[in-house]
A and B are shown apart, each in its own frame.
Chain A
């Protein structure tokens, strides 16, 4: 079965170090990582960020529900982070993991952040979730880093 890939690019007026921290430090991540669902309480990414280590995408509700899991494939701060990406039910089945690469590059006086999401099953629910989710998360990240403020999220 053929696999789907997506590439998302955003240009942010900030530094590579700040983009890196926004991806891996929970107190930064929770301020912008909201999906398209207005009831999303926010998410953080939890790991020691060493190659081979597990990582978790945790919901910022009281239960800290784990919505995604995977492994750290490559961790080269502040330039490149490569993760595998899966539903928790598929944690042990590496064949079901897709792959996400964050490339952080200086571009003139900006940072170009490229998110490449590969090896997605065409018929899986993950495809639908991420194609609504990534543009929203990256737009939020840009606003957050450029204004330095938590988002005026309409939580209606």
Chain B
């Protein structure tokens, strides 16, 4: 929808961490997500609302549980618009080199 919202939502380390948590395990409850975060439940709720407003998180009710899912479609749109048309292979080679030299994972 609004690409400004996507960038704003991503411009915060706690929100990026929440997306990483959902990438590792999709479909989590608020309580499960709070378990990993060094912040109040209310703060996590606010971050999730912002992520949902940016369409980076989708929610569904399963019985009485509200589950949160990572929605990567807006990221795909950013990729298609600004990365896909540039030099994909060279960028990938650079990423792989960085990954190799730093020896860490993506987080």
Contacts and interface: CB of A to CB of B under 8 A. Distances in A.
A142 B1 CA distance: 11
Interface size class on chain A is: 20 to 34
Interface in B50-70: 55, 58, 60, 69
Interface size class on chain B is: 10 to 19
A92 B49 CA distance: 42
B77 interface: yes
Contacts of B73: 8-10, 134-135, 138-139
Interface string A119-139: 000000000000000111011
Contact of A8 (B1, B58, B77, B79): B58
A132 B13 CA distance: 24
Contacts, number: 46
Nearest to B1: A11
B71 to A, nearest CB: 5
Given A6-B69, A154-B85, A135 B75 contact: yes
Interface in B7-27: 26-27
A116 B60 contact: yes
Contacts of B71: 7-9
Contact of A5 (B27, B72, B79): B27
B80 interface: yes
A114 interface: yes
Nearest to A13: B1
Contacts of B77: 139, 142
Contacts of B27: 4-5, 7
B76 A11 contact: no
A31 interface: no
Contact of A138 (B76, B79, B84): B76
20 contacts: A4-B26, A5-B26, A6-B26, A7-B26, A7-B71, A8-B71, A8-B72, A8-B73, A9-B55, A9-B58, A10-B55, A11-B1, A136-B76, A138-B73, A139-B73, A139-B77, A139-B79, A139-B80, A154-B84, A154-B85
Given A8-B73, A139-B79, 5 more contacts: A7-B69, A9-B58, A10-B55, A135-B72, A138-B76
> What are the nearest 9 A-B pairs in CB distance?
A135-B76, A7-B69, A139-B76, A7-B58, A9-B58, A135-B72, A11-B1, A10-B73, A139-B77
Interface of B: 1, 26-27, 55, 58, 60, 69, 71-73, 75-77, 79-80, 84-85
